[in-house]
Structure 1
């Protein structure tokens, strides 16, 4: 229901990134709109990889999913008016597992 009602508003008002944490794993999408990768889309990032036990189950492998894993971790975000740099680190070794940059 979120996608049905909120995604058109996010797209209309040029939201660049959404952070979610309901599921207990990590996943990052391409910039997308209506389940398709588009240049001016919204990057969706699931950052639920801390705290509770990690979710089990199978990974969908959807075409829009650029990175996914199920390890404990943490993120850092550095941003200003024209730049956002996001990094995801694994707890086990403090190494970067995934990162991306958005610029306007």
Structure 2
């Protein structure tokens, strides 16, 4: 599912909140982009917990935990995207169309 206009409105409110709290300097934008790495690491940590990869810890997470962490990645990416472009929905839609076309899917 593509993000809806309501989703983008929420993302814009989150961006406005961050802008109010932290500004939108190049440094702040960099931190918003780096936040993606942190969130992706949490996805990996949760998946490791699902499969029990760490024998010392065993199974520590569920697939629902992984799904929620993936949602954090999506929201964080959307906030970062909306922080660097005025029309994040069009940018995302265009990119999704390109990926679909590359994979031979009908657009």
Structures share fold, TM-score greater than 0.5: no
Radius of gyration: which is bigger?
2
User: Could you tell me the TM-score, scaled by structure 2's length?
Assistant: 0.21
More helix by share: 2
User: Could you tell me the TM-score, scaled by structure 1's length?
Assistant: 0.21
More strand by share: 1
